[in-house]
Structure 1
């Protein structure tokens, strides 16, 4: 099974359905409606109405990185004349698995902007970076109508280059390993330049992301590019401190982190070029002539492959976080209570024999070496209904929850941090995994329907979950507005590293470090 397939268990691929225009006749008592035609710095665009929102879809924020611009840093888009229709999203960036009819291609550097329909000025701007293992996903999957209208915010969802197209490194190639990251930063710069056109405040930009998007947000905090560009950040399931042991993402996979040193990125890129028959001094020119279909099979090698030791990312983000070398702005950081169940479920769906009572000791031995027996005693099979659930508990605690809490402590030493843990055990099963003995609970990505209509669909069907979603939208948008997530009618959220547990009817501060055995993991080596 390819790594991109493994990571696709949390990538939601669906088609956004745009609503038709509402009638023009309105009562004089209703608030003034914001215009559907606005001018950005490259030209005029005409959006559409959806519910109580305006949407401007498929706006280019950079030139298409095609032909001679393949593997170059993003450039501002060329101006256009007339009014550009902005009622449909642009292409998804090229990726190996297409779960919908949405076209994909290298001409993919587009943003989608959602704002309240009513005329406003000075709204907070929220720029979303999607997840998908750095190999899949797109901004169009995340319909932000609820976040924009209930939260009174300008929400920008972003496409960025993926896989080999976004993270290839080669010696002497400017931007090596960081093209997707550079795209994300370019989209932030576009949002800042054009915020006022949509009623947003260019001085109040929050970047937020989940999984690969969250890892990118955390990396940005340690980048020189962040200074003066953003005023707040939200990191969901993507701490700089994340790391996975051998087998942690899929049985048999090597140990992994989201970031690699530039030398490794360039070595991996040179190896891929050689496999494609493009070795030597002319490797780059040769690769730029390669058709997309020949490059795509190599994209899996560039999952979790954001390079540091570069102009955009001088230091390993984890080391920078520990050293306090990051932009001092308010941060929300957290994840889901049962993160790894999605990855374990994906493995079991692929082959039910990969994680059993017989293979569990071998998985522990490969992941933790001489500490395996100690881990087995702490997480005995007898305590869990299935080996899959036991392995998921190990990985959730060691790889995800405790790493996230460690990252929150690093941040809280120098800036204001609000920690959370999404904990709805009956959250929508966004990954579509139904494995006996492995309920998904609050698995990786299960928090996303509480902020977005995924693919344009509201997946929340019960009153208590809709209420939790309203509270979360309130927290996120209040934080974007002021740096403080607290808002009227919601349980108090105190700053610090003790997470606020987000579950229907049970929002409260919890001792996540104890619940996830973080004291044990701090003394357990791999």
Structure 2
């Protein structure tokens, strides 16, 4: 097996391991049936659940079930329902293999969202709205995994978490098929339209919507910034560990692929399930069981650009200044790549002074890059995993994030951060081969209870979590995260976020070798 293939496989394996953080506890239960509340949305009445200081409304459909002839069709309007719809329990996740969602999912009736709103809101004082797009490599994840009650109550905001189509069901492409390669992105836009039309019923301000996401959710925010079809659907953007300017010659890039590449993958999918030679391949594919599609889909999924929804690669659009003019909060974690590097080492591929040149060549085979990388990042000891982790994180997250921030800041207000708690609660089970520091996704437990399980935080980490929620919520409220109660966040520097050490830094470029990566051919 090639090392590049090992990386792709381990990327999915990492997602599965991270599932222990998301699914370790059952969903939060309502305080009692008597406390449930009923709200009218534009498609009917929904009955939610009351908790201590907040209410939740789960499994609200924002688009029709994409089944039958609607599989691989743009999202359609929900059919209004009679009576009161139960919104006290989460709905199905979109189809995906086992991992974050225990046992996976094969239920295509999944285009639902969840609303968490603090108590006490009234029409005279609508609250800012944060719409959260989950990560998971565009193949896994669910809105229900993110319990947003801490953000909602402390930040005094309404939080909406969204399911969107994933994998082959979300990003399949075929010649002549409208919406090819972008069905998942179209779902996100449908959810945003639902929020504009209906969030007022939950005390939210439909004219103050922040679109936010992490990892694939962050890349999705990049895509929506560059999508003409998203015009007017959100007012601010938060991008966590999903830099918009990844390059195709880096292991974890790009965040989107040309439509031609997506169509080639679609042709391969049709052949694998026996529909390649059918008179109507699309009709044949729409009859294939979801489980079969999941079994044969590529592990690597991306939205397609050069499409009506996404005319150009988000990296190119942002570089050219063609994006929606909204304020942006953007950042990454200090040690983004360590989780992947640890997985590769544990899979039997140690990084040592002897193996390092071959490992680098496997991941960076273009134009002799490996030799330059080995020189810039020397491995002197047998435990070179952290060096490999630094290469992955710097090349694919830290430096592209810094570049994206500079490009955006030429046109809109931008606040930049780096999450740097080296003792962040582990998201993986077992003992890693080396300390992971602040790896990919490690900031999430400071904003959400993943899988409804509060993280085991120290007193200092709890203070950091409160401060981060304050920053995020104030940005959503006024496009400026600052307030006298928190350390000042300057737009001229990157704010390093660590327990009891929230400080501006100007060393991100140097620390992550960004001059090297920006000039590497």
* TM-score of the alignment, normalized to the shorter chain, above 0.5: yes
1:27 corresponds in structure 2 to none
Q: Does 1:21 align with 2:24?
A: no
Shift of 1:262: 0.7
SS at match of 1:418: strand
Counterpart CA distance in 2 for 1:16 and 1:74 is 30
- For 1:74, the equivalent position in structure 2 comes to 75
Runs of 4 or more off by more than 4 Å in structure 1? 9-12, 101-104
**CA-to-aligned-CA distance 1:481-512 (integer Å, 9 cap, x gap):** 0000112311001124x311110011111121
CA RMSD of aligned residues (A): 2.0
| 1:277 alignment counterpart | 274
| Cα drift, residue 306 of structure 1 | 0.6
- Report if aligned partners of 2:240, 2:330 keep a CA contact under 8 Å in 1: yes
- SS in structure 1 at match of 2:496: strand
2:481 matched to 1:477?
no
Give the deviation of 1:318 after TM superposition.
0.4
> CA–CA distance in 1 between the matches of 2:104 and 2:340?
25
The correspondence of residues 407-418 of structure 1 with structure 2, limited to 5 A, is 407-418=404-415
Across the two proteins, how many residue pairs are aligned to each other? 504
**Is 2:500 the counterpart of 1:500?**
no
Distance in 2 (alpha carbons) for counterparts of 1:348 and 1:242: 25
Select the residue among 107, 110, 116 that pairs with 2:109: 107
Summarize the Cα distance change of 1:360–1:354 in structure 2 as closer, same or farther, 3 Å threshold: same
Match of 1:5 in 2: 13
Deviations 1:293-317 (A, max 9, x none): 211123334x341101111111111
Task: Determine if the alignment matches structure 1 residue 338 to structure 2 residue 335.
Answer: yes
Matched, 1:389 2:389: no
- Note the 1:436-451 alignment, pairs <5 A: 436=433, 438-451=434-447
Query: C-alpha offsets along residues 262-308 of structure 1, whole Å, 9 cap, x if unaligned?
Result: 1111111011111221125511101001111211123334x341101
Structure 2 residue 243 is matched with structure 1 residue 239: yes
Q: 1:385 to 1:198 in 2, by over 3 A?
A: farther
Q: CA deviation at 1:365?
A: 2.3
| Equivalent residues of 2:33, 2:49 under 8 A apart | no
8 Å contact kept, 2:305–2:311: yes
Q: Hey, what does 1:261 align to over in structure 2?
A: 258
Deviation digits for residues 348-398 of structure 1, max 9, x if unmatched?
A: 33x13354443211122231552323322221112x672211111111112
In structure 2, what is the Cα distance between the partners aligned to 1:359 and 1:134?
32
Deviations 1:444-483 (A, max 9, x none): 0000000000111110421000000000000000000000
- 8 Å contact kept, 2:31–2:52: no
Q: Which moved more, 1:164-173 or 1:279-288?
A: 279-288
Partner of 1:253: none
1:513 aligns with one of 509, 512, 520: 509
Q: 1:445 to 1:308 in 2, by over 3 A?
A: same
**Aligned mates of 2:41, 2:91 — CA distance in 1:** 17
1:419 equivalent to 2:416? Answer yes
Give, in whole Å, the separation in 2 of the partners of 1:288 and 1:376.
48
1:30 corresponds in structure 2 to none
Once the 2 structures are TM-superposed, how far is the Cα of residue 102 of structure 1 from its aligned partner? 7.6
Structure 2 unaligned blocks of 5 or more: 1-5
8 Å CA contact retained: 2:32, 2:49: no
- Relative to the length of structure 2, the TM-score reads 0.93
Q: Is residue 65–residue 74 contact of structure 1 (8 Å, CA) maintained in 2?
A: yes
Partner secondary structure for residue 126 of structure 1: strand
Q: 2:194 aligns with which of 183, 190, 195?
A: 190
What secondary structure does 1:217 align onto?
helix
The answer to whether the 8 A contact 1:245-1:399 is kept is no
Comparing 136-145 with 258-267, greater Cα deviation is found at 258-267
Q: Is structure 2 residue 173 aligned with structure 1 residue 169?
A: yes
- Alignment of 1:56 with 2:57, yes or no, is yes
* Alignment match, 2:118: 116
Determine the structure 2 residue equivalent to 1:328: 325
SS at match of 2:130: strand
> What displacement does 1:223 show?
0.7
Partner of 2:358: 362
* Per-residue deviation, 1:108: 0.7
2:3 maps to none
Q: Could you tell me which runs of 5 or more consecutive residues in structure 1 were left unpaired when the two chains were aligned.
A: 25-32, 250-255
Whether contact under 8 Å (1:338, 1:396) holds in the other structure is yes
> Does 2:96 correspond to 1:95?
yes
Q: What is the match of residue 370 of structure 2?
A: 372
Other-structure match for 1:435 = 432
Instruction: Note the C-alpha offset of 1:439.
Output: 0.9
Q: Relative to 1, partners in 2 of residues 1:103 and 1:371: Cα closer, same or farther, differing over 3 Å?
A: closer
Q: 1:154 to 1:300 in 2, by over 3 A?
A: same
Question: Is 1:291 aligned with 2:300?
Answer: no
Displacement of 1:515 in angstroms is 1.1
Please give the alpha-carbon distance, in whole angstroms, between the structure 1 residues aligned to 2:32 and 2:476: 29
Cα pair distance change 1:234/1:261, threshold 3 Å = same
- Deviation string, structure 1 residues 110-129 (Cα, Å, up to 9, x no partner): 10100002234310010000
